[in-house]
């Protein structure tokens, strides 16, 4: 059982364990040791005010461990994955807590192939971190006072990669609204969309692209897709695009102001790939959180849907195991096999724009036949993460929901891998029963584990 790594790296409140200076320094030492002699490591970060000192502390540990460290500065998570692979780095590191509030931060690790590390590797690094912590206990971690030299060419190279993925893409005179969440996309999206629209003919309206260290994800971005949806209506735009803090996922809004989530993107991308003979094994990998409506719509197009645990690394693992060309999450992490090694919000945005461009249809028209089951997600703050099936009152509430909903719904209860939350998700044909059982289960969890 991992103690530091969650579903997406090490995450917590910046300055507190496990993101205190000593632990971060130990992470650097441990990773350098794990990578062997003379490793070269790339570090990128999001816009949180804590990202600078965390990157500096991590760099100090890596350097003492014998690693050579290069900085890409503020850049998206998938950009680090791409650059790590493209330039033969021994590892890539992203300082980010993705969709979490500004007080949090995290450390995400990529291998030399650009893929997130498997669980077994993370466990081995964890063991080394704890050994290193014993060595540095009581010793003040050295944080360099000088800022690292940032390679500005990294962003330009990544933008070039993105544009080459969609040759001939045009906005067709459309107006689009882009919400950067005051996060890492703020460093990439302005250049990307300016070059995309270099020949004119369209309009790009950038929103929430002025980070101040504390406004990342604040009432904006993929956590609040209704914001970009309202902006689309207000500007009479054709489409809205919204990213999370590190831009590894994207959500959308159509011209009517309707939010288009990751399930809808999977449907459009799967149909497009299938029509062009590029959907390997006619299979798509989604997660336990994807709506039953997506499964039904894919089935009508003779496409099989498999479900993986939540987390884009687990989606990718099942894609690799089954040979699937496409996978993703309802939350907007979409992975295109052969194009990316992790969820990439900017790449997803361009590929979706390309589908719209080639189809000659609007986003609303392309998603019109996706009929979703009513779904509710209740987040319960918890003080600890005990196995839910070992708590009688919770187990009874779950069993009652599963029994009554039977084949007309789904019950998915899980702990968040990145926050102190239990997530209660229920889908059902009956919205009344859905809400009744969701609240019953949530109440049982609050009574036993509530923070």
* Those residues with Cβ within 8 angstroms of residue 274's Cβ, 6 or more apart along the chain or in another chain: 282, 301, 302, 303
Query: Measured between alpha carbons, how far is 90 from 39 in angstroms, rounded to an integer?
Result: 6
In angstroms and rounded to an integer, the radius of gyration of the C-alpha atoms of the chain is 22
Instruction: Please identify which of the residues 90, 98, 186, 238 carries the catalytic annotation.
Output: 98
Query: Measured between alpha carbons, how far is 293 from 397 in angstroms, rounded to an integer?
Result: 25
Query: Measured between alpha carbons, how far is 106 from 431 in angstroms, rounded to an integer?
Result: 37
What the block records as the tokens of 390 is: 């070992």
412 contacts 288 by C-beta, under 8 angstroms: yes
Residue 199's CB is within 10 A of a number of other CB atoms, namely 9
DSSP-assigned letter for residue 41: E
Closest CA to 114 of 82, 77, 69: 82
* Those residues with Cβ within 8 angstroms of residue 121's Cβ, 6 or more apart along the chain or in another chain: 111
Closest CA to 238 of 252, 221, 220, 251: 252
| DSSP conformation letters of 64-86 | HTT-EEEEEEE--HHHHHHHHHH
In sequence order, what E strands does 128-196 have? 175-179
3-state secondary structure 366-383: HCCCCCCCCEEEEEEEEC
Query: Measured between alpha carbons, how far is 60 from 71 in angstroms, rounded to an integer?
Result: 13
What the block records as the tokens of 422 is: 């239990």
425 contacts 412 by C-beta, under 8 angstroms: yes
Whether 98 sits among the annotated catalytic residues: the reply is: yes
Q: Describe the crossing of helices 392-405 and 431-449 by its angle, rounded to 10 degrees.
A: 170
Residue 243: phi and psi, rounded to 5, are -110, 165
Query: Measured between alpha carbons, how far is 164 from 172 in angstroms, rounded to an integer?
Result: 18
Query: Measured between alpha carbons, how far is 368 from 44 in angstroms, rounded to an integer?
Result: 39
Q: So which residues are the catalytic ones?
A: 98
């Amino acid at each position: 059982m991992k103690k530091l790594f969650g579903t997406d790296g090490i995450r917590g409140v910046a300055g507190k364990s496990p993101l205190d200076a000593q632990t971060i320094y130990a992470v650097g030492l441990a990773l350098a040791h794990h990578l062997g002699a003379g490793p070269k490591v790339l570090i990128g970060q999001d816009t949180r005010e804590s990202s600078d000192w965390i990157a500096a502390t991590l760099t100090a540990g890596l350097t003492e461990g014998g690693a050579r460290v290069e900085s890409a500065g503020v850049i998206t998570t998938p950009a680090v994955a791409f650059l790590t692979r493209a330039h033969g780095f021994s590892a890539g590191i992203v300082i980010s807590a993705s969709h979490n509030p500004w007080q949090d931060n995290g450390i995400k690790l990529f291998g030399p192939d650009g893929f997130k590390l498997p669980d077994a590797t993370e466990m081995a690094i964890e063991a080394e971190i704890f050994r290193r912590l014993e060595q540095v206990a009581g010793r003040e971690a050295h944080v360099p006072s000088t800022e690292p030299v940032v390679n500005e060419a990294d962003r330009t190279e990544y933008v070039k990669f993105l544009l080459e993925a969609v040759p001939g893409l045009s906005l067709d005179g459309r107006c689009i609204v882009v919400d950067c969440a005051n996060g890492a996309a703020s460093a990439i999206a302005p250049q990307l969309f300016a070059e995309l629209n270099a020949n004119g003919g369209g309009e790009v309206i950038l929103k929430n692209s002025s980070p101040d260290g504390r406004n990342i994800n604040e009432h904006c971005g993929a956590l609040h897709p209704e914001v970009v949806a309202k902006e689309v209506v207000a500007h009479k735009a054709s489409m809205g695009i919204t990213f999370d803090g590190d831009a590894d996922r994207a959500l959308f809004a159509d011209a009517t102001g309707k939010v288009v989530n990751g399930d809808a993107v999977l449907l459009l991308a799967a149909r497009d790939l299938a029509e062009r003979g590029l959907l390997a094994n006619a299979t798509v990998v989604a997660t336990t959180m994807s709506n039953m409506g997506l499964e039904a719509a894919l089935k009508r197009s003779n496409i099989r849907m498999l479900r993986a645990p939540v987390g884009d690394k687990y989606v990718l693992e099942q894609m690799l195991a089954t040979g699937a060309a496409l996978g993703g999450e309802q939350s907007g992490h979409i992975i295109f096999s052969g194009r990316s090694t992790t969820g990439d919000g900017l790449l997803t945005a361009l590929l979706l724009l390309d589908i719209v461009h080639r189809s000659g249809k609007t986003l609303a028209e392309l998603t019109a036949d996706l009929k979703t089951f009513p779904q509710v997600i209740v987040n319960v703050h918890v003080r600890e993460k005990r196995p839910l099936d070992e708590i009688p009152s919770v187990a009874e509430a779950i069993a009652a929901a599963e029994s009554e909903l039977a084949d007309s719904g789904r019950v998915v209860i899980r702990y968040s891998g990145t926050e102190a939350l239990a997530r209660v998700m229920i889908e059902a044909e009956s919205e009344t029963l859905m809400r009744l059982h969701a609240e019953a289960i949530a109440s049982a969890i609050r009574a036993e584990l509530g923070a």
